[in-house]
Amino acid sequence: MYGIDVSKMKLDISFIDNNGLKQHKIIDNTLSKIALFLEQLPLDAALCAEHTGTPGNLLRFLSHVINIPLFLVTGYEVKHSLGLQKGKTDKTDAHRIREFAERFSDKLNHDVFKGEALCELQELLTLRNQLVKDRKMLVTLKVSKESNPFSSTKAHEITSLQISRFDQDIKDLEKEMLSIMKEAPELRENLELVTSVKGVGLITATELIIKTENFNKIDTAKKAASFAGVCPFPNSSGLMVKKSKVSPMGDRALKSLLYMCACSAVQHNKELKLYYQKKEMQGKPYFLIMNNISNKLLRIIYSVVNSRIPWDPNYICADPRMATKNIA
């Protein structure tokens, strides 16, 4: 097992040599250096690296091309699994990643290359989200200056022009994202199924497809709810029993999008609107109700994707008691 600490410029590699001694190696995070390193590995070699996002994409791609097993772990997992640790360097991080992989080899998940379509889709969505944030900052600046007794005409003109450019760029990115998904049959089908659910739009559907790797990596609604941070967990110890609460470690971007979908669904989805009104009459807190609706939306989405049948607002779920009665 090879433990790899990934950074933008280099890879720190920890491994055990044939004599049983701990070794450390540094290579550049470039195509030629990584390819040379992977080609020199023994046939039964396996890699374990920290999930660092963009800096590790080259390693992920080349390990897929050369067909070498790669396992990705988070820094949080490594830090909290090896007991009390003192000091931190890239070299020690690589050793700790290797030790973690050797100790918990049965819990490692094999990294699967997402494919070019999903990679490009993720890049476009990341850029789109950044442009949305920049546009929001300019709009806030423009609104705040409207109350000033004096303001620059030129500044107002440039601000308005930049906002218009952002609007056009965002539309172009969304158009390109839609085009990519339409060209890939497996992405197009899931996009149509997910967006058939009332309240779920293009951006939320795209985010779900990317984060779940087209519903292959996160293959159940329960896992998706836990990943997004809309699934409550028990909170008790001994005789102390508190209310269940969601984990703060969920994916904030996906959770925010699901909340917006829940807000839309409450207005346009009759079933969820009735659920909201029922819980509101029971005195439940607003955000608890919306969190439950987000969870329900995920269950509906996964039901639609698994059944390959678009969402039907007039669908009535069969009573399971009737099926039992018929069998009897």
> How confident is the model at residue 318, as a pLDDT?
62
Domain match, 25 and 83 both = yes
Q: For position 131, what pLDDT does the model report?
A: 94
Q: Are strands 232-237 and 240-246 parallel, antiparallel or unpaired?
A: antiparallel
Q: Are residues 101 and 126 in the same domain?
A: no
To the nearest whole percent, how much of the chain has pLDDT over 90? 22
Which of 164, 183, 202 terminates a domain? The answer is: 183
More confident residue, 84 or 126: 126
Q: Is the pLDDT of residue 328 over 60?
A: no
Which pLDDT score is estimated for 269?
83
Same domain, 215 and 179: no
pLDDT in tens, 220-243: 889 888 888 888 777 777 777 777
123 shares its domain with 97: no
Domain end residue (candidates: 86, 107, 128): 107
Q: DSSP labels for 149-200?
A: SS--HHHHHHHHHHHHHHHHHHHHHHHHHHHHHHHSHHHHHHHHHHHTSTT-
Position 241 scores a pLDDT of: 74
Residue 177 has pLDDT above 80, yes or no: yes
What's the average model confidence in pLDDT over 285-309? 90
How much is the average pLDDT of 273-290? Answer: 90
pLDDT tens, position by position, 178-202 = 999 988 888 899 999 999 988 888 9
- Domain of 176, in residue numbers: 116-183
Instruction: Please indicate, yes or no, if residue 240 is contained in any of the structural domains.
Output: no
Confidence (pLDDT) at 319: 58
Which band of pLDDT confidence, cut at 50, 70 and 90, is reported for residue 325? low
Among residues of the chain, what percentage have pLDDT more than 70?
A: 96
Give which of 122, 38, 39 is closest to 49, Cα–Cα: 38
Tokens representing residue 156 in the block: 């107002």
Q: Is the pLDDT of residue 324 over 60?
A: no
Angstrom distance (rounded) from CA 102 to CA 73: 13
Query: What mean pLDDT is predicted for residues 199-207?
Result: 90
pLDDT, tens only, 258-268: 999 999 988 88
Alpha carbon 45 to chain centroid, angstroms: 29
Task: Name residues whose C-beta falls within 8 Å of residue 198's C-beta, 6 or more positions apart in sequence.
Answer: 264, 265, 268, 269, 311, 313
The total of structural domains in the chain comes to 3
Mean pLDDT over each residue of the chain, to the nearest integer: 85
- For residues 22-35, give the mean pLDDT: 89
Distance between CA atoms of 154 and 82, rounded to whole angstroms? Answer: 59
pLDDT at position 315 over 70: no
Q: What is the pLDDT of residues 50-103, one digit of tens each?
A: 888 788 888 888 888 888 888 888 877 888 777 777 778 888 888 888 888 888
SS3 call for 325: helix
Report the range of poorest mean pLDDT among 286-295, 296-305, 319-328.
Answer: 319-328
Residue 241 lies in a domain: no
Model pLDDT for residues 137-147, shown as the tens digit of each residue: 999 988 888 77
Residue 173 scores a pLDDT above 90: yes
- What integer pLDDT is reported at residue 166 of this predicted model? 93
136 and 162, same structural domain? yes
With beta carbons less than 8 A apart as the criterion, state whether 269 and 198 touch. Answer: yes
**What separation in angstroms does the CA of 175 have from each of 116, 168, 194?**
18, 11, 18
Q: Which of 143, 165, 183 delimits the end of a domain?
A: 183
* Residue 285 tokens, joined: 């807190």
Q: What is the C-alpha separation between 114 and 212, in angstroms, rounded? A: 10
Write down how long the chain is.
Answer: 328
pLDDT of residue 134: 93
Residues 177 and 201 in one domain: no
Based on the domain organization, do 216 and 204 belong to the same domain?
yes
Write the CA distances from 243 to 23, 57, 186, 259, integer angstroms.
49, 41, 41, 21
Residue 160 makes CB contacts below 8 A (sequence gap 6+) with: 142
Q: CA dihedral defined by 297, 298, 301, 304, rounded to 10 degrees? A: -100
> Does one domain contain both 196 and 327?
yes
Calculate the alpha carbon distances from 199 to 250, 268, 288 in Å: 21, 7, 18
User: What number is the average pLDDT over the span 105-116?
Assistant: 80
**Minimum mean pLDDT among 16-20, 60-64, 234-238, 251-255: which range?**
234-238
Query: Residue 101 belongs to a domain with what CATH number?
Result: 3.30.420.10
Checking if the pLDDT of 285 tops 70, the result is: yes
